Every structure is written in C-alpha cells, then in structure tokens.
Amino acid sequence: TLSLHDALPIYMVQNKTDKHPKLIRLPEVKRRTGFGKTWIYTLIRAGKFPKQVKTGLRSIAFIESEIDEWIYKIISDSRNHI
C-alpha cells in the first residue's frame, strides 16, 4: 500500500502535465484548506499561497493544481520536520 508521502511525486507530475487546468472558486479553496477568506488573502499577500486569477470584472478563481500542490507541499514539509 502506498502512503500519502509515496504518492506525492506521482500526483504532482500528473498535475503538471494536465493540459486543461481547472479553476475553483474561493468556497472550495476554503473547504480544502480549512482556512478563512481573510487568512487566505493574508497568505497570498505574504507570497505563501497561490495567487488568484481574475475571471471577470468582479470574480476570481484559483487554479486547482496550484492549490493541490500547495496542500501536498505543506503535508510533505510537515512530515519531513518530525
């Protein structure tokens, strides 16, 4: 059985070769990270979270693969510092 750590490089390679990036909205980013809107934007301003993309006059979204990679990096970094 593969652990999450073993699967990380495979997932990231698959994600980076995806020809069709998917956009996700802020509520989904909040659900995936467990963070609130204010904290997400604080991390973006600090350069510690993937930046949103403007999708319309008053709308934004995030690139799903960038959010997923950020989550897996946080998990990997956490596991490597134990």
Q: Mean of the per-residue pLDDT values for the chain? A: 85
Task: Say if residues 42 and 1 touch (Cβ distance below 8 Å).
Answer: no
CA distance 19 to 32: 23
Span 32-79, pLDDT tens digits? 999 999 999 999 999 999 999 999 999 999 999 999 999 999 999 999
- Model confidence at 7, in pLDDT bands (50, 70, 90)? very low
pTM for this model (two decimals): 0.74
Mean pLDDT computed over 23-30: 98
DSSP 8-state code for residue 58: T
Spell out the residues 6+ positions from residue 49 whose beta carbon is closer than 8 angstroms to its own: 40, 43, 70
Closest Cα partner for 59 from 25, 28, 32?
25
The letter for the amino acid at 43 is L
**Tokens 């390679």 identify what position?**
13
